[in-house]
Amino acid sequence: MTVRKTLIPVIGAAMCAAVLATGCARQHTDAVTQDAHAPSTSAARPASPRPAPPQHFPRPLPGVGPVMRDLVPAGTRQALVVTGETEDSSQARVVLYEREPARGWRPVAGPWPAHNGLRGWTDDHEAGDLHTPVGVFGLSDAGGRLPDPGTLLPYDEDPRFSVEGTGYLGEPLEGSFDYVVAIDYNRVPGTTPLDRTRPLGEDKGGGVWIHVDHDGPTNACVSLSTEHMRALLTALDPAKEPVVVMGPETVLAR
């Protein structure tokens, strides 16, 4: 009896250990089998989407900040940008841009050197102040002493486009008005540049043109070489509602 009492617990314990071991082995085998048939996590994960191609936005008017850019009419597709070196400078740089719906603004002519008013620029032009007005203005009419070079703008050939004397540097002024484009500052668009009607009053000046350069500062106009005036006249298209955007570099960039 003593032996039986001793063996039963031992045997029982051994049997339990065998059962537990068998159970653990079965669980481990089942787990391995399940893992073998389980889908791969990396294989099941969807491929990362390709990065979206970069978006291309229409190019804004170069050198022109949001304040001045907002003054350009929505329908305008030609802009002559006249950039002064400084607020007091009488020398400038001119580029003609055209706007395409998808690409935005692109240069089509220039850069050309130019002169402006003797005393630089102002946003409050007065008659005789020798400053060129800052702003965005239409370009709707042209004319000159010489025949029309082929512009699409209304062109007034008239011998009254004549000037004599000398400029501020002693340079001769003759021929300066051989070709002109009227800047729609204090004038009535749709009339000859010679029209002297001043909607803002005589004290606000007028007769501000783009004309042939005489190698010196102007009263208030912008001047280009004869070659560049011809190029500008033949490029401007009233169907594109051309404007001039002009002022010193720091002001245009605002």
Domain membership of residue 23 (yes or no) is no
Q: What is the pLDDT, as a whole number, of residue 52?
A: 56
CA-based nearest residue to 163, from 145, 181, 147, 146: 145
CA angle, 87 as apex, 183 and 105 as ends, to 5°?
Answer: 55
pLDDT at 142 over 50: yes
Domain limits at 243?
66-252
Which pLDDT does position 69 carry in this prediction? Answer: 95
What is the pLDDT at residue 150? 98
Q: How far apart are CA 213 and CA 178, in angstroms?
A: 10
Domain-located, residue 189: yes
**Tens-digit pLDDT profile for residues 199-209:** 999 999 999 99
Number of structural domains the chain divides into? 1
Confidence check: pLDDT of 24 > 60:
no
Calculate the alpha carbon distances from 53 to 22, 48, 56, 104, 195 in Å: 60, 15, 9, 19, 54
Section 26-30 average pLDDT: 41
Burial class (CB in 10 A: 0-12, 13-18, 19+), 23: exposed
Query: What's the mean pLDDT in 88-111?
Result: 96
The DSSP output letter for 72 is S
Q: Which of the two residues, 32 and 124, has the higher pLDDT score?
A: 124
Q: Give the Cβ contact number of residue 183 at 10 Å.
A: 29
- Give domain status of residue 57, yes or no: no
- Residue 158 domain-assigned (yes or no): yes
How large is the average pLDDT for residues 2-10?
A: 36
pLDDT-derived band at 58 (thresholds 50, 70, 90) equals confident
Could you count the other beta carbons within 10 Å of the beta carbon of residue 39? Answer: 7
Structure-token pair, residue 186: 């204090």
Residue range 209-226: mean pLDDT, rounded: 98
Of 88 and 22, the one with more pLDDT? 88
pLDDT value at position 13? 37
The predicted structure's pLDDT at residue 51: 62
Band (pLDDT 50/70/90 cuts) for residue 245 is very high
60 belongs to a structural domain: no
Say what the pLDDT of residue 123 is.
95
Rg over alpha carbons for the chain, rounded to the nearest Å, is: 40
The predicted structure's pLDDT at residue 38 = 45
Torsion 145-151-153-154 (CA) sign = positive
The mean predicted confidence, pLDDT, of the chain is: 85
> Percentage of residues in the chain with pLDDT exceeding 90?
76
| pTM of the predicted model as reported, rounded to 2 decimal places | 0.77
Q: How far is CA 91 from CA 23, 96, 223, in A?
A: 97, 17, 10
Which pLDDT does position 47 carry in this prediction? 58
Is residue 25 predicted with pLDDT exceeding 80? Answer: no
**What pLDDT is stored for residue 102 in this prediction?**
87
Does residue 35 belong to any structural domain of this protein?
no
pLDDT, greater one: 112 or 29: 112
- 147 touches 133 (CB < 8 A): no
- Asked if residue 43 is part of any domain, the answer here is no
For residue 168, being part of any structural domain is answered with yes
Residue type for position 67: V
Which CATH number is 115's domain given? Answer: 2.40.440.10
